[in-house]
Amino acid sequence: MKVRYFAWVRERIGKPEEEIDLPAGIATVADLMAWLSERGEEYAYAFENPKVIRAAIDRAHVRPDAGIIGAREIAFFPPMTGG
Amino acid sequence: MKVRYFAWVRERIGKPEEEIDLPAGIATVADLMAWLSERGEEYAYAFENPKVIRAAIDRAHVRPDAGIIGAREIAFFPPMTGG
Amino acid sequence: MATVRLQREPFDAASEAAQLRRGRGDIGAIVTFTGICRQDEAGAPLVAMTLEHYPDMAEAEIARHVETAEHRWPLLGVTVIHRYGRILPGEDIVLVVTAAAHRQDAFAAAEFLMDYLKTRAPFWK
Amino acid sequence: MATVRLQREPFDAASEAAQLRRGRGDIGAIVTFTGICRQDEAGAPLVAMTLEHYPDMAEAEIARHVETAEHRWPLLGVTVIHRYGRILPGEDIVLVVTAAAHRQDAFAAAEFLMDYLKTRAPFWK
C-alpha cells in the first residue's frame, strides 16, 4: 500500500511517500495513524495531534473511521489552505 | 434653453435637440412637457404618456415637479435600458 | 485609480486589466467582466444593436457609481468602459475591471457596477 | 465546455477567455477572476510562495466542483487553471473564467469556484 504525506506532515516525517506492508489488525485510517506513530520520533511528531490530520483513500476524502482494506493509496495531510 | 431628446422620444419628435424660448408660466418639467405636447402631432405623440418619460436638468435626473428656471439643458427620454 | 470611458471603438479587456495591476504588489484579486452582444439579444436573431446614450450624463453617472463602489469596498483599482453606437453580435459591449486585495471585494464591486450599468445607466437599446 | 488544468507555468488569462468564447454567439457575459500572489500574502513581506498540491486528487476535486457549478447555473463554458510550485509576488496563482448568457450566472459560478479553490482545494501554502 502506498502512503503519501503532504505539507507539514511530509516535512515532519521527512519523505513524500513510502510503500507499507500492513500488519494484521490495522483496519481503519485511525488504526493506521496510530500504528505509524509508533514507527519513530518523526512519525510521532507528525501524528501527535491526529485530530487535525486529514486523510484520503485513493484520492477521495475519508473520515478516520474509514476502512482501509483494499486501498491502493492513502494520503495524510494538514487541513487544506487553498491556493 | 436647450432641450434634448433620446431614444423613442427623439424618434417620435424627429430631432435630437432644439433651442426653445420659454413662454411665461412654464415653471416645471411637467409644465414643459404639457407645453411641448401642444406644438404638433409629433410632440403630442412623444409625450402622450408623460408618466413614462424621464427627465434630466443639466444632466441630473429630476422629477416632473422640478423647477426649470435657470436650467441650461433639459433632456427627455424613456426609461433607460442599460447597456 | 478609477477610469471611466465611453467609446464607439472596441476595447481590449486584457490590456485594461494589465494596466490596472502594473507595478503593484498589493493586488490579490482582479475580476474582469465582459458583456457581449448576443446573437439573440432580444429573443429574436439580431443583425446589429445600436446603443444610444446621453454622453456627458452617462459618464458623470457612471463615475458617481464608481465612487460609491470605492467607498463601499476597499478597491485598489476600477476600470469601466462602455461602448455606444452600432455593435455586432459577438462584439463586446461593456467592460468592468475591479482590483482588490481580496476576492470578495473585487467580486462585489464588479457585480454592483454591472447591475447599475445593465439596468439604470443612461443607455437605450 | 470545461477545462481544468494544474500547472507550474504562468497562464495567459486573456487567451483562455478568448478560447472560451471563440465562434459562439450565445455568450453574453464572461467573468474572469485572476488570483495574484501579494507582496504581503502572509501579513509580512513575502519573497516567494511555494504552493504544494496533491496532483491527481486536486484535479479530480476541482473537476467535481466545476460539474457542480455547471449543474447549478446555466454555464456556456468554464476554465480553471491553478498553478503550483514556486510563485513570486505579483505573479498569478489561479484563474477562473466562466461564460453564460447572463451576468448573474457567470458571477455566481465564478464566486462559487473561487470560494472552493481558496479554502478547500487540496493545496497547501
pLDDT tens string D58-103: 999 999 999 999 999 999 999 999 999 999 999 999 999 999 999 9
From the candidates A6, A54, A76, which should be mutated to test the interface with D, based on the most D CB atoms within 10 A?
Answer: A6
Measure the CA–CA gap between C47 and C103, rounded to whole angstroms: 37
Q: Is C48 on the interface with D (CB under 8 A)?
A: no
Out of A8, A10, A82, name the one closest to residue D119 (CB): A82
* pLDDT for res C98: 98
User: Quick check: C124 and B77 CB within 8 A?
Assistant: yes
pLDDT at C56 over 90: no
Poorest-confidence range of B21-25, C73-77, D6-10? B21-25
Element (H, E) at C6: strand C2-7
B82 or B41: whose pLDDT is higher?
A: B41
pLDDT at C54 over 70: yes
- Asked if residues D77 and D20 have their Cβ atoms less than 8 Å apart, the reply is yes
For residue D65, give the 3-state DSSP assignment: helix
- Record the cell numbers describing residue A30, joined without a space: 485511525
Using pLDDT thresholds of 50, 70 and 90, give the confidence band for residue D41. Answer: low
Cα dihedral across residues A27, A31, A36, A38: positive or negative: negative
Q: What is the mean pLDDT of residues B10-23?
A: 95
Alpha helices in C22-98 (DSSP H): 55-72
* pLDDT for res B81: 81
Closest-CA distance of chain A to residue D51, Å: 7
Grid cell 463601499 in the structure block, residue: C72
D55 or B46: whose pLDDT is higher?
A: B46
Farthest-apart Cα atoms in chain B, separation: 39
pLDDT at C121 over 80: yes
User: Quick check: D38 and C25 CB within 8 A?
Assistant: yes
Measure the CA–CA gap between D98 and D20, rounded to whole angstroms: 8
Out of D24, D29, D118, name the one closest to residue C103 (CB): D118
Instruction: For A48-67, write each residue's pLDDT tens digit.
Output: 999 999 999 999 999 999 99
Spell out which residues of chain C touch residue D37, defining contact as CB-CB under 8 Å: 28
Nearest chain A Cα to D81, which residue? A83
ipTM: 0.89
* pLDDT for res B34: 95
- Asked if residues D71 and D2 have their Cβ atoms less than 8 Å apart, the reply is no
User: Quick check: A75 and D117 CB within 8 A?
Assistant: no
C24 or C1: whose pLDDT is higher?
A: C24
Return the ∠ at Cα D70 (arms to D65 and D75), rounded to 5°. 135
Sequence-separated (6 or more) residues with CB below 8 Å from residue B40: none
Out of B77, B78, B80, name the one closest to residue C120 (CB): B80
Using pLDDT thresholds of 50, 70 and 90, give the confidence band for residue B22. Answer: confident
* pLDDT for res A33: 96
Beta-strand relationship, C75-83 and C2-7: parallel
Instruction: For D24-40, write each residue's pLDDT tens digit.
Output: 999 999 999 999 999 88
* pLDDT for res D44: 72
Q: What is the mean pLDDT of residues D41-51?
A: 78
**Edge-to-edge strands of the sheet including C75-83?**
C2-7, C75-83, C92-100, C29-36, D29-36, D92-100, D75-83, D2-7
* pLDDT for res C45: 77
* pLDDT for res C120: 86
C125 or D66: whose pLDDT is higher?
A: D66
* pLDDT for res C43: 67
Q: Is C121 on the interface with D (CB under 8 A)?
A: no
Instruction: For A23-51, write each residue's pLDDT tens digit.
Output: 889 999 999 999 999 999 999 999 999 99
Alpha helices in chain D (DSSP H): 13-21, 55-72, 103-119
Using pLDDT thresholds of 50, 70 and 90, give the confidence band for residue D46. Answer: confident
* pLDDT for res C40: 81
Measure the CA–CA gap between C117 and C96, rounded to whole angstroms: 10
Q: How far is CA D87 from CA C103, D46, D104, in A?
A: 18, 10, 32
User: What whole-number percentage of chain C has pLDDT above 70?
Assistant: 98
User: Quick check: B80 and C121 CB within 8 A?
Assistant: yes
Q: What is the pTM of this model?
A: 0.91
Q: Is D45 on the interface with C (CB under 8 A)?
A: no
User: Quick check: D123 and A80 CB within 8 A?
Assistant: yes
Can chain D be said to touch chain B, i.e. do they have 3 or more Cβ pairs within 8 angstroms? no
Q: Is D88 on the interface with A (CB under 8 A)?
A: no
Return the ∠ at Cα B37 (arms to B16 and B55), rounded to 5°. 55
From the candidates D19, D36, D93, D116, which should be mutated to test the interface with C, based on the most C CB atoms within 10 A?
Answer: D36
Can chain B be said to touch chain A, i.e. do they have 3 or more Cβ pairs within 8 angstroms? no
Q: Which of D118, D18, D35, D122 is nearest to D77 (CA)?
A: D18
Q: If you count DSSP H runs as helices and E runs as strands, how many of each does chain A have, helices first?
A: 3, 5
pLDDT at D43 over 80: no
